[in-house]
Amino acid sequence: MSELIRQSTLNPIAEKKRKLHHGDIHDELEQISPIRLTNEKKGKKDTVDEYHSLKHHVEKQCVEIDDRNQLQSGKIDTMMVLMENQNRKQKRIMSKLDAATNTVEDVSDELKIMKQSLGELRREIEDYQRRNEDYQRRNEDYQRRNEDYQRRNEVFQGQVLMILESMKPKAD
């Protein structure tokens, strides 16, 4: 994880993306250095209090990020349920299509009716297949986003931990 943090600080483009993603959190963390300088002038109790206050604030931000990740995960779960429902509908339609095909072979009068039904069923199947493919693409996109959020969260938490470690009062 420290390698990711080091790469992030060496790569200006990655740094800009990280700043855009973390927004206010990053701005607050940038102020740690000035706070640290003022802490040297304050008493040890003030430094410890400020450290705990900042630590609480950062933990709260991490919880909010985790909540957003869980929301994305919930969306992915919903998409998976929708895909399963579409697959069940598609199987039912396929069985109807098989039954319709057998009937067409047996009865010539029903042939015209069955052809119409088959056409409608095929259109429905194609529509369901298109929808299913769309759901799969969306699901993959949500999974990529979720993985990206998790990676960003890991990098951010690593940075926060490093900053918090650097702010711990040193034992004399």
Cβ proximity of 121 and 97 under 8 Å: yes
Q: How many residues does the chain have?
A: 172
Among residues of the chain, what percentage have pLDDT more than 90?
24
- How many degrees, rounded to 5, is the angle at CA 53 between CA 50 and CA 54? 85
Q: How confident is the prediction for the chain on average, in pLDDT?
A: 77
Cβ proximity of 144 and 81 under 8 Å: no
For residue 160, what pLDDT is reported? 92
Highest mean pLDDT among 2-16, 93-107, 153-167: 153-167
- Stretch 45-62: mean pLDDT: 86
- Stretch 115-124: mean pLDDT: 87
What residue type is 146 in one-letter code?
Answer: N
pLDDT higher than 90, residue 114? no
For residue 123, what pLDDT is reported? 93
- Stretch 34-60: mean pLDDT: 74
HEC profile of the chain: CHHHHHHHHHCHHHHHHHHHHHCHHHHHHHCHHHHHHHHHHCCHHHHHHHHHHHHHHHHHHHHHHHHHHHHHHHHHHHHHHHHHHHHHHHHHHHHHHHHHHHHHHHCCHHHHHHHHHHHHHHHHHHHHHHHHHHHHHHHHHHHHHHHHHHHHHHHHHHHHHHHHHHHCCCCC
Is the entire prediction scored with pTM above 0.75? no
Query: What is the rounded distance in angstroms from the CA atom of residue 158 to the CA atom of residue 138?
Result: 30
Residues 6+ apart with CB under 8 A from 71: none
- Which pLDDT band, with edges at 50, 70 and 90, does 8 fall under? very low
- Stretch 158-169: mean pLDDT: 88
Domain boundaries in the chain? 2-167
HSE on the CB side for 65, CA within 13 Å? Answer: 23
Query: What is the rounded distance in angstroms from the CA atom of residue 33 to the CA atom of residue 47?
Result: 13
